[in-house]
Amino acid sequence: MTIVALMKIVAVAINKGGVGKTTTSKNLATAAAAAGFNVLLLDMDSQENSRKWGTRRTKRNPYKILPLVKFTTESSLPEEIERAKNAGCDLVIIDTPPGRSPESVAAVEAADLLLIPVEADDQDSFDAIPKTARNPSFWRPQQSDAE
């Protein structure tokens, strides 16, 4: 019997900025790559901090196993996900911009799992959770590949 693992997609999103979406995305991608997973980190924030970080890391560590990091937009997200699937990627992590943006909505709709980072001592972070969760795509059931 052959077990085939399906690629998983994780979106890291919240309406508030500065709560650690990019840090969480980079750390998850790095840990998964170090554990032997084939990882793609998609940066959807126009500041491109994840993509810039990935470029710096690749230049400093050309022979180290690192996650692949690319910038993408909501319109090209489906193609990037399909390419990752066809390339045998195990995990796609999507770093989203703050606010209710088309990028965040597209990322959440594509995701199997949504992570909402918050600062433990910042009430504004907790207040942003309901705003983030108002996106109707958060509550739609995910269709499996078997359906």
Cβ atoms of 140 and 41 within 8 Å: the answer is: no
What CATH code is carried by the domain that includes residue 93? 3.40.50.300
Round to the nearest angstrom and report the end-to-end CA distance of the chain: 21
Q: Is residue 147 part of a domain?
A: no
Q: Is residue 121 part of a domain?
A: yes
Based on the structure, what is the number of domains in the chain?
1
Q: Is residue 3 part of a domain?
A: no
Query: What tens-digit pLDDT sequence spans the chain (147 residues)?
Result: 555 568 999 999 987 788 889 999 999 999 999 999 999 999 999 999 999 999 998 888 777 778 899 999 999 999 999 999 999 999 999 999 987 788 998 999 999 999 988 777 656 655 665 555 555 555 444 454 444
User: How many whole angstroms separate alpha carbon 120 and alpha carbon 129?
Assistant: 13
Cβ atoms of 30 and 66 within 8 Å: the answer is: yes
Q: Is residue 47 part of a domain?
A: yes
Q: Is residue 28 part of a domain?
A: yes
Q: Is residue 1 part of a domain?
A: no
**Domain of 95?**
8-135
